[in-house]
Amino acid sequence: MRITNPQITALMHGSMNSSSAKLGKLMQQMATGQRMLLPSDDPIASVRVLRIQREEASLEQYRGNIANLAASFSKQEANLKSISDAMLSVRDLLLWAANSGVNSEVELGAIASELEVLEKTLINAANVRDEEGRYLFSGTQSDRPAIVFDEDSQSYVLGGNAKHRQAAVANGVLLEENVTAEQAFGPTLAGFNDLRQVVALLKSPDLNAADAAVNERIAAALESLDRTHDAVLGAMTELGGRQNTLTLLNNSNEGLSLVNQKIEQELSTLDYAGASIDFSNYLLALQSTQKTYLKLNGLSLFGQL
């Protein structure tokens, strides 16, 4: 079979174009540091990289949620701590007021004034809002105050609900992000309402400091205050437990992210040592093909005469 000059030329051109294309692609890989410029370069590895990138996007969302939750937990815990401190001050004043036969009506009236200030402090702390204007302890009805005063019953009632908001903090893991007023202060808000009644009693112009009923009312207020204070401490403990859970989950997510980054790097990053060897081979092949083509192109019958 006779190979014609056009066939030789086409063969040489094809070989040079192939080597040039391989050399150009390799130079682009070396410039970007990426082994896969197109999904078709390694379809299986490309699919794995896409899965890892999707998982990393989820992990980034989890990190954001965890940071927001940690800040919210800290704020709720700080407010519950201030409520706890105020309750202890209320308790001291109630114990002082309970000393029958020692306090006069005027002294009890002065105690009532201090208790009234603390009562307002407690309600304001229970109705605290976050930086977005949401009431912290109102459940999922965060646009409503946690505690409101009902004019008909002349008592404090819950303004929100007892439902918990949830946030995703890991794959398949949802964590409650709020403490509710019902959880922290009781469904009937007895601690607040009994305190209000005692304040009204001690401020009454008809108050008789020697009346045994006064001490009974104060004792009842102390009992309900202690129960409410226990609930507040329980809510603080639960928030602390959630903070610990966040720390563990965040560490787990960070570890998973490091593994993903290592796998993605192994799949997509170019091996420069191997690429350098391939570069030399492609360049040598291209130069050899060019030299061969030039020699063959210079051969002719007249050149031999």
Angle at Cα 196 formed by Cα 190 and Cα 199, nearest 5°?
A: 140
* More confident site: 294 or 235: 235
pLDDT recorded at residue 43? 76
Backbone angles phi, psi at 253, to 5 degrees: -65, -40
> How would DSSP label each residue in 247-282?
HHHHHHHHHHHHHHHHHHHHHHB--HHHHHHHHHHH
Query: Which of 139-143, 161-165, 173-177, 269-273 has the least mean pLDDT?
Result: 269-273
Cα(94)–Cα(91) distance, rounded to whole angstroms?
A: 5
Burial of 4 (0-12, 13-18, 19+ CB in 10 A): exposed
What are the CA-CA distances from residue 124 to residues 29, 79, 148, 183, 225 (Å)? 63, 10, 10, 17, 17
pLDDT recorded at residue 86? 97
Mean of all residue pLDDT scores within the chain: 84
Q: Across residues 141-154, what is the average pLDDT? A: 96
183-221 residue pLDDT tens:
999 999 999 999 999 999 999 999 988 888 899 999 999
Q: How does residue 46 score in pLDDT terms, banded at 50, 70 and 90?
A: confident
Instruction: Read off the pTM.
Output: 0.75
Q: Across residues 257-261, what is the average pLDDT? A: 87
How far, in whole angstroms, is CA 260 from its chain's centroid?
Answer: 20
pLDDT recorded at residue 264? 73
Burial of 41 (0-12, 13-18, 19+ CB in 10 A): middle
Structural domains in the chain, CATH included, are 50-263 (1.20.1330.10)
Q: How does residue 40 score in pLDDT terms, banded at 50, 70 and 90?
A: low
What are the CA-CA distances from residue 283 to residues 31, 34, 94 (Å)? 17, 20, 93
**E runs forming strands in the chain:** 147-150, 155-158, 166-170, 173-176
| 167 touches 246 (CB < 8 A) | no
In the numeric block, which tokens belong to residue 145? 């105050």
> How would DSSP label each residue in 15-28?
HHHHHHHHHHHHHH
User: Taking the alpha carbons of 95, 101, 106, 107 in that order, is the dihedral positive or negative?
Assistant: negative
